[in-house]
């Protein structure tokens, strides 16, 4: 699952057990930017997410990740949905990003993603 938030972009996947099998009870919250994970931890200071180590591994496609219980991730996503008070995500990400001194590169990337998905829409379903 990909999720774009005003705090950053996250790719969520099940974590793996030590034997390499899927751990359905834990997720990896993966990010391309360490700052995005830090923003998430700052937003949820009482969560398991805030206490989890940010793992940095240059040998994976997502350089940064947190591993938390899936039940904890469900609580975080629920709160993210509840706090939504805007009608235009890109504008909110820009406004909020200015408050938390977020990179303008993230806002630029959001516009590029919007454009790609708009072209997908315009080309119609297969």
Give the pLDDT confidence of 81-124 residue by residue, as tens digits: 999 999 999 989 888 877 766 678 899 999 999 999 999 999 98
CA–CA dist 106, 35 (Å, integer): 11
Question: What are the pLDDT digits (tens) for 14-24?
Answer: 999 999 999 99
Q: Which residues contact residue 31 at a Cβ distance below 8 angstroms, ignoring those fewer than 6 apart?
A: 8, 9, 10, 11, 37, 62, 63, 64, 65
Q: What is the pLDDT of residue 126?
A: 64
Evaluate whether 2 touches 31 at the Cβ level (below 8 Å). Answer: no
CA–CA dist 104, 102 (Å, integer): 6
Greater confidence (91 vs 3) lies with 3
Read off the tokens for 87: 């009608």
Q: What is the pLDDT of residue 112?
A: 95
CB neighbours (10 Å) of residue 94?
17
Task: Supply the range of the domain harboring residue 94.
Answer: 2-122
Read off the tokens for 5: 């938030």
Q: Could you give the number of structural domains in the chain?
A: 1
Q: What is the pLDDT of residue 101?
A: 67
Question: What are the pLDDT digits (tens) for 44-82?
Answer: 999 999 999 999 986 789 999 999 999 999 999 999 999
């Amino acid at each position: 699952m990909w999720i774009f938030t005003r705090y950053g972009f996250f790719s969520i996947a099940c974590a793996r057990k030590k034997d390499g099998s899927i751990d359905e009870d834990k997720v990896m919250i993966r990010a391309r930017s360490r700052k995005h994970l830090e923003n998430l931890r700052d937003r949820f200071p009482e969560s398991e997410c805030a206490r989890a180590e940010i793992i940095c591994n240059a040998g994976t496609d997502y350089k940064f990740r947190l591993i938390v219980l899936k039940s904890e991730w469900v609580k975080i996503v629920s709160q993210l949905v509840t706090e939504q008070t805007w009608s235009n995500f890109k504008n909110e990400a820009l406004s909020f990003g200015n408050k938390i001194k977020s990179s303008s590169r993230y806002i630029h990337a959001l516009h590029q993603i919007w454009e790609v998905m708009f072209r997908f829409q315009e080309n119609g379903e297969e």
